[in-house]
Amino acid sequence: LPLLIHYHGGGFCLGSALDMPFKRFLTSLVVKANIVAITIDYRLAPEHHLPIAHEDSWAGLEWVASHSYGQGPEPLLNRHADFGRVFLAGESAGANIAHYVAVQLDEMYAYMCPTSAGFEEDPILNPALDPNLKMMRSDRVLVCVAEKDGLRNRGVYYYETLKKSEWHGKAEFYQTLGEDHCFHMFNPKSKNVGPFLQKLVNFIKSTK
């Protein structure tokens, strides 16, 4: 089965892989897309300043990758995960982490990581400054934003950065109208969750 590796959102300082909104959404996605999903926890700020969250997330990805030859510690992954079809996913801060691990905001970030130069100058947070962007080991990226999300423009910026970069994959863009930040997690009864979920399912199933 295709394998989805998920990183939760929460501004690097809130949330957990075990939080109900994430579990509920991932369960729906697993059922509809017929996939295996792993959600990775990481240490949070301010107790643990960035880039510890990114380092933990990378370590989690390495743990998952240890199963790629059927020799890992988790039998389910050894038996059922197709490591030729791997998807990295996340919302909000989790999307930033997903990008970071694929290539090895703001006052909130300055509070959590006082040594950082901030979004505009930090290649961990600003993909346009990342010299390794062109080497990202992915054929396709789906960037999803919500119309009323205060961070919507960051998602658009990321999409445009991918399109203009030397990365040789294909970037796709999807916008949900009338919704706010992480609506699919916090407002699961919204009529827009179904179409959004179906977009993810179609994206996964169209990847060979």
- Give the pLDDT of residue 124: 84
- Give the pLDDT of residue 73: 95
Whole-model pTM: value is: 0.79
Where is pLDDT greater, at 124 or 141?
141
What CATH topology corresponds to 3-206?
A: Rossmann fold (3.40.50)
Summarize pLDDT for 104-115 with one digit per residue, the tens.
Answer: 737 444 544 556
* Residues 63, 137: Cα–Cα separation, whole Å: 18
Per domain, the residue ranges of the chain are 3-206
149 belongs to the catalytic site: yes
Please pick, among 6, 8, 149, 184, the residue that the annotation labels catalytic.
Answer: 149
67 belongs to the catalytic site: no
Residue 59 main-chain phi, psi, to 5 deg? -60, -40
